[in-house]
């Protein structure tokens, strides 16, 4: 096991001498710490009461001196080389073996016994003491191995003495040193400190000043590194230095000087300018003493790191940069990789200060790449933690989530609860930002409510079982704030505020208010109080209480003023934005414009892209509300340009869609502005339509254009985003007030246009030609800020229709959806609900719907209902849409001009892949699918655990196998040369689906159960047969698996329940299996809106495939014909559950 350097939790010790009363230092409790730029130490925060004995105690009794067993001898050590020492005691007693490190960190073990591994907290120059009860001539073996960078070599000096039984105080002190060293190796920091304290008191008792100093030196290191007790560390280091005396080892004197310098700088309340002379004096002493020996060569760059930290605190960034760079260069030459990682981390943090995020990301990554696994777990965890935080700041969401997870696991391995709590809170906050709310709530609830043992257990369970669901009200039982250290209070506070944000995003203002009330007890300082006031203001805005919101935001500004926070303080900016929103909500649009511009200036100065976009939206709202629509349009166009300049390349498919949905409001408001103009010209109508398209299905457009975009990029996403941030910050400094408020907005737009990924605009001529080719009318719905609009494209003309209140439309759609999914709902109720929705969204389109096909682009709640059940007109005797026209649904008009135009061609030798009737239950899988006991034993256990979550309880689908056989039969009858592969039962495994999809199947039919998780789309999946040979044996084909396919299929048929359902995302549509197959490259997908029983599904599929394969109709025509036949068979609306997504003319 590598040398551990992480803080564990636990209490301290208060020990008294048996001879006389000690002089006790009741040392200060924990202080909140600054970010440790120079030291790179990442602290744990816990109340720790430490009582340290000081001074030299009078001897209570005479003692017999130990007998030398082995004179001090030194030997080289490093890399894989191990030093072995064999010796025997001449008599009975306590055998004491000392291992002195000289320039290399080591671990020593005694007699190869479990539990004897020991290490020193004084890195590279510690002394490890091993003890054992000795018998005469009994042999003992000591093994010493280096725990350091692989290329580092040094020395270990060993010696041995026999402490006679007549000297019990000495023997006990030596045993305490051994116990302390074992506790260090096993990361039991409280126990280590307690044993070193007992040893120091024992040596004081015996006037063994150097031994006592050695113990106190170790205590000083523990106090600094493991308990974040800088005052304690400083006092202990001073005592240790005095104990070593003038004849002490120069390197140890230098190490203590460095420790005193670090502790003095990091001490709570320390003023760098006041202590700078003393710190420089300590560092001068360290350079002199450590430079006197070649073993001290490794220590000199560490001194440079502290010197650089001092310069940073003194606002001398150039001097700090020089010191850190010099240290990094020297550490790299020495191949001293933990030193190099420390220097690189400091360079990264310095780059962050100057907003050079690309350099900072590179430095963090380089530090992790160079640092050998296990060498310094605490440092590794800290770098992952900082890297994840910065990746989140610059919008690298997937990378940030990965880094935070790595940090969390590293902290958990170390037993570092505050580190785990911090990582959970940061990951949760990140997921709130991208809209993955269920997972976010789970992370945040654990960060806010679990005690240390439960927290570590939860992380261990998460690593094997995935994210668990959060409590219904995750803010109900946060940790008791009383015993929490300040940093833990801050973490819980942040978690509760993020939970409030998540509740707000889901419309739960009451739950958000409950979370904020809980957070009050953790608002430990002015910064937290500002944030809490802002959060309360946001809830009041949601509740349409502008006066209350204004009071809350003004309170936040007042706290910031009293605390003298700078104008660019992040949460002062939030309060300013909140005041603008309150003015707009109260109807004071004209008054809001100057305040919105001030907020914009502040956001730009901070380089905060998200708040800059929000500020632009508020400026536009002020302009629109005060009768300046042209200025509002211009401002929103700039916001849209800026959104498109943010790189989304590194997000996975789910995260990309959810993130883009959070930015859709800008496009919706801009569309609303264009479409609401009373004087509609053809040019204005087209502008409104293309704006709607610009903000629609951006994740799908990204997937379709990914290869072309990747080839055209000149710089990676992080670099492009960094360039954008730097330009935005410079704009604030260069803004010329004399040019008016619009100058800054124009400059932002110029920067955004330079950096954004340019996509080809919607080609009107090509769209018109495509619609004529497929003989279709396009109806695209667009939800604006308050109203909904329809764009109807037919015969080359574009018509804009104002439909009315989007909330009323959403209510009507939800009513119809619920009735259709209720198999016992009266048919009259369904007809009435369908007529209500048709009156709002279909009948106003009137005579423009004349084509034999209608291609719908839904928005908002219209994604959740089939248009086929709507009555065609208000005429009571008129028929439904299905009886008038073929229909299909697409995510955007751009889809028609970019996807599979050639898919209309028929093939005499189509490749058809049919998958169905998987084996769900583990017991059935064992019996039917496992070939032999060996394969069963290799994967059955893990398969049982992973399947039991949901597939274990799934009922079999007896119709699915017959359905597959039916499709195969029709394919061979209609085209004898068809290449048909049927994968049923044990063959219906994930690997088979992936192979079939990626090898050019023109028709891909999947008959199985589906799981749809609307809150966590990545957990949506198709249930398949477990795949043997892997541990665990995968059985579900999830959303990210689908998005990872490379499809060229003309048609994918999902003969599974709810496959068109998923999470409804503004502008992106429903994120579920159907959309995922379209993003993966399918030309069209047949899927279902709701659950249909197995027999009805099989019967419907038989009719559909007869028309598709035998009659050779297009997919949309075959679907309509099957639906008409089923509709004539009875009053049930089961036929309406099926819909075609994508290209309507897909044929085989």
How do residues 456-469 score in pLDDT, each as one tens digit? 888 877 654 445 54
Does any domain span residue 714?
yes
Is the domain of 730 the same as that of 752? yes
How do residues 1073-1121 score in pLDDT, each as one tens digit? 888 888 888 899 999 888 887 788 888 989 999 999 999 999 999 999 9
Return the half-sphere exposure (C-beta side, CA atoms, 13 A cut-off) of residue 1144. 27
Give pLDDT, residue 4. Answer: 32
Is the domain of 1000 the same as that of 1051? yes
Other beta carbons within 10 angstroms of residue 629's beta carbon come to 15
Domain-terminating residue out of 855, 890, 925? 890
Query: H/E element holding 667?
Result: helix 664-675
Does any domain span residue 849?
yes
Q: What is the DSSP letter of 206?
A: T
Is the domain of 974 the same as that of 943? yes
pLDDT < 70 regions, the chain: 1-63, 247, 395, 397, 434-436, 462-473, 646-663, 678-680, 697-740, 752-760, 876, 899-906, 931-953, 1012-1019, 1029-1034, 1056-1071
Cα distance between residue 1062 and residue 1037, in whole Å: 15
Is the domain of 927 the same as that of 881? no
Does any domain span residue 835?
yes
Domain-terminating residue out of 715, 734, 761? 761
Does any domain span residue 586?
no
Is the domain of 718 the same as that of 791? no
Residue 1062's domain comprises 907-1093
Domain-terminating residue out of 865, 890, 915? 890
Domain count, the chain: 4
Give pLDDT, residue 2. Answer: 33
How far, in Å, are 313, 375, 690 from residue 776 at the CA level? 68, 66, 19
Cα distance between residue 92 and residue 431, in whole Å: 64
What does pTM read for this prediction? 0.62
How far, in Å, are 91, 657, 1008, 1069 from residue 699 at the CA level? 79, 5, 27, 10
Is the domain of 1011 the same as that of 1087? yes
Cβ neighbourhood burial of 886 (10 Å; 0-12, 13-18, 19+): buried
Is the domain of 729 the same as that of 787? no
Is the domain of 777 the same as that of 793? yes
The tokens describing 14, both together, are 């208060």
Query: How far is Cα of residue 828 from the mean position of the Cα atoms in its chain?
Result: 48
The tokens describing 451, both together, are 């005690």
The set of residues, in sequence order, having a beta carbon less than 8 Å from that of 124 and lying 6+ positions away, is 101, 103, 104, 105, 148, 154, 298, 299
Is the domain of 1063 the same as that of 1033? yes
Give pLDDT, residue 805. Answer: 92
Return the half-sphere exposure (C-beta side, CA atoms, 13 A cut-off) of residue 26. 0
Is the domain of 1065 the same as that of 932? yes
Query: Residue 929 maps to which CATH number?
Result: 3.40.50
CA angle 792, 687, 760 (to 5 degrees): 100
Is the domain of 809 the same as that of 957? no
Does any domain span residue 1111?
no
Burial call 485-512: b when 16+ CB within 10 Å, e when fewer: bbbbbbbbbbbbbbbbbbbbeeebbebb
Does any domain span residue 1031?
yes
Give pLDDT, residue 364. Answer: 94
The answer to whether residues 803 and 862 touch, using CB atoms and an 8 Å cutoff, is no
Does any domain span residue 754?
yes
The tokens describing 40, both together, are 């790179």
Query: H/E element holding 69?
Result: strand 67-78
Give pLDDT, residue 53. Answer: 38
Is the domain of 735 the same as that of 780? no
The answer to whether residues 178 and 119 touch, using CB atoms and an 8 Å cutoff, is no
| DSSP strand pairing (1036-1038 vs 979-985) | unpaired
Does any domain span residue 972?
yes
């Amino acid at each position: 096991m590598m040398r551990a350097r992480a803080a564990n939790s636990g209490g301290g010790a208060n020990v008294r001498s048996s001879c006389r009363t000690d002089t006790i230092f009741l040392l200060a409790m924990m202080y909140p710490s600054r970010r440790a730029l120079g030291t790179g130490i990442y602290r744990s925060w816990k109340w720790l009461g430490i009582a340290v004995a000081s001074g030299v105690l009078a001897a209570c009794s005479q003692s017999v001196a130990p007998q030398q067993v082995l004179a001090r001898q030194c030997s080289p050590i490093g890399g894989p080389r191990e030093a072995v020492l064999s010796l025997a005691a001449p008599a009975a007693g306590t055998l004491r073996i000392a291992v002195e490190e000289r320039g290399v960190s080591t671990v020593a073990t005694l007699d190869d016994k479990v539990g004897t591994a020991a290490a020193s907290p004084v890195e590279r120059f510690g002394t490890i003491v091993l003890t054992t009860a000795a018998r005469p001539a009994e042999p003992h073996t000591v093994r010493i191995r280096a725990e350091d960078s692989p290329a580092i070599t040094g020395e270990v000096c060993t010696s041995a003495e026999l402490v006679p039984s007549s000297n019990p105080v000495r023997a006990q002190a030596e045993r305490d040193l051994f116990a302390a060293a074992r506790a260090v190796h096993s990361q039991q920091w409280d126990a280590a400190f307690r044993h070193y304290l007992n040893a120091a008191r024992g040596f004081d008792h015996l006037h063994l000043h150097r031994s006592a100093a050695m113990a106190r030196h170790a205590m000083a290191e523990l106090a600094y590194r493991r308990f974040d007790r800088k005052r304690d560390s400083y006092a202990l280091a001073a005592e240790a230095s005095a104990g070593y005396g003038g004849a002490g080892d120069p390197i140890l004197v230098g190490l203590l000087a460095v420790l005193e310098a670090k502790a003095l700088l990091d001490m709570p309340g320390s003023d760098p300018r006041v202590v700078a002379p003393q710190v420089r004096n300590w560092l001068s002493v360290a350079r002199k003493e450590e430079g006197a020996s070649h073993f001290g060569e490794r220590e000199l760059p560490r001194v440079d790191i502290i010197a650089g930290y001092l310069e940073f605190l003194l606002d001398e960034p150039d001097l700090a940069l020089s010191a850190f760079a010099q240290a990094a260069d020297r550490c790299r030459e020495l191949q001293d990789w933990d030193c190099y990682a420390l220097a690189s981390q400091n360079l990264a943090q310095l780059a962050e200060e100057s907003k050079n995020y690309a350099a900072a990301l590179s430095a963090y990554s380089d530090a992790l790449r160079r640092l050998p696994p296990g060498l310094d777990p605490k440092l590794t965890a800290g770098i992952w933690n900082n890297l994840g935080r910065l990746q989140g700041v610059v919008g690298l969401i997937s990378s940030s989530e990965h880094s935070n997870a790595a940090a969390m696991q590293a902290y958990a391995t170390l037993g570092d609860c505050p580190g785990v709590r911090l990582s959970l809170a940061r990951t949760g906050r990140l997921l709130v930002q991208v809209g993955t709310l269920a997972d976010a709530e789970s992370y945040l609830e654990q960060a806010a409510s679990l005690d240390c043992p439960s927290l570590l257990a939860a992380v261990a369970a998460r690593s094997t079982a995935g994210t668990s669901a959060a409590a219904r009200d995750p803010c109900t039982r946060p940790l008791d704030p009383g015993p929490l250290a300040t940093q833990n209070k801050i973490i819980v506070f942040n978690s509760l505020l993020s939970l409030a944000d998540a509740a707000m995003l889901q419309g739960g203002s009451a739950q958000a208010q409950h979370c904020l009330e809980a957070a009050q007890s953790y608002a430990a300082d002015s910064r937290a109080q500002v944030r809490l006031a802002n959060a309360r203001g946001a809830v009041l805005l949601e509740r349409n209480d502008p006066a209350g919101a204004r009071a809350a935001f003004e309170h936040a500004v007042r706290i910031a003023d009293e605390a003298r926070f700078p104008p660019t303080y992040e949460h002062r900016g939030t309060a300013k934005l909140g005041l603008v929103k309150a003015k707009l909500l109260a109807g004071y649009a004209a008054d809001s414009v100057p305040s919105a511009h001030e907020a914009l200036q502040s956001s730009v100065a901070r380089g905060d892209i998200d708040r800059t976009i929000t500020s632009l939206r508020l400026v536009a709202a002020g302009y629109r509300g005060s009768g300046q629509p042209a200025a509002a349009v211009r401002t929103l166009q700039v916001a849209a340009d800026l959104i498109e300049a943010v790189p989304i390349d590194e997000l996975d498919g789910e995260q990309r869609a959810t993130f883009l949905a959070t930015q859709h409001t800008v496009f919706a408001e801009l569309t609303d502005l264009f479409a609401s103009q009373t004087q509609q010209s053809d040019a204005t109508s087209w502008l409104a339509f293309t704006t709607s398209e610009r903000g629609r299905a951006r994740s799908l457009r990204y997937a379709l254009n990914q290869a072309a975009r990747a080839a055209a990029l000149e710089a990676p996403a992080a670099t492009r985003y960094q360039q954008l941030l730097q330009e935005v910050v410079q704009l604030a400094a260069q803004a010329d007030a004399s040019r008016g408020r619009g100058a800054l907005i124009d400059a932002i737009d110029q920067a955004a246009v330079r950096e954004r990924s340019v996509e080809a605009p919607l080609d009107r001529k090509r769209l018109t030609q495509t619609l004529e080719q497929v003989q279709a009318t396009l109806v695209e719905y667009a939800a604006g800020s308050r109203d909904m609009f329809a764009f109807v494209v037919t015969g080359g003309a574009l018509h804009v229709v104002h439909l009315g209140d989007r909330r009323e439309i959403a209510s009507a759609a939800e009513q119809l959806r619920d009735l259709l999914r209720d198999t016992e709902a009266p048919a009259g109720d369904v007809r009435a609900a369908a007529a209500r929705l048709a009156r709002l969204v279909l009948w106003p389109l009137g005579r423009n719907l004349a084509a034999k096909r209608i291609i719908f682009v839904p928005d908002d709640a219209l994604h959740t209902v089939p248009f086929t059940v709507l009555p065609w007109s208000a005429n009571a005797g008129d028929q439904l849409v299905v009886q008038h026209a073929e229909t299909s649904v697409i995510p955007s008009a751009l889809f028609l001009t970019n996807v599979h135009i050639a898919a209309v061609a028929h093939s005499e030798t189509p490749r058809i892949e049919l998958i169905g009737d998987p084996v769900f239950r583990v017991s059935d899988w064992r019996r039917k699918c496992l070939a032999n006991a060996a394969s069963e034993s290799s994967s059955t256990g893990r398969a049982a655990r992973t399947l039991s979550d949901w597939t274990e309880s799934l009922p079999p689908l007896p119709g699915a196998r017959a359905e597959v056989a039916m499709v195969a039969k029709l394919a061979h009858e209609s085209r004898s040369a068809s290449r048909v592969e049927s994968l049923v039962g044990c063959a219906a495994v994930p690997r088979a689906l992936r192979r079939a999809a990626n090898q050019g199947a023109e028709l891909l039919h999947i008959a199985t159960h589906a799981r749809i998780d609307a809150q966590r789309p990545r957990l949506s999946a198709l249930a398949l047969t477990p795949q043997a040979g892997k541990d665990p044996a995968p059985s579900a084909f999830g959303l990210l698996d689908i998005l990872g396919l490379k499809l060229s299929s003309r048609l994918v048929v999902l003969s599974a329940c709810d496959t068109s359902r998923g999470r409804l995302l503004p502008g992106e549509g429903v994120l579920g299996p159907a959309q995922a197959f379209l993003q993966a490259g399918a030309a069209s997908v047949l899927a279902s809106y709701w659950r249909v029983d197995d027999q009805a599904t099989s019967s419907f599929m038989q009719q559909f495939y007869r028309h598709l394969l035998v009659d050779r109709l297009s997919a949309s025509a075959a679907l309509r014909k099957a639906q008409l036949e089923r509709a004539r068979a009875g009053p049930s609306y089961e036929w309406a559950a099926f819909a075609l997504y994508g290209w309507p003319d897909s044929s085989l």
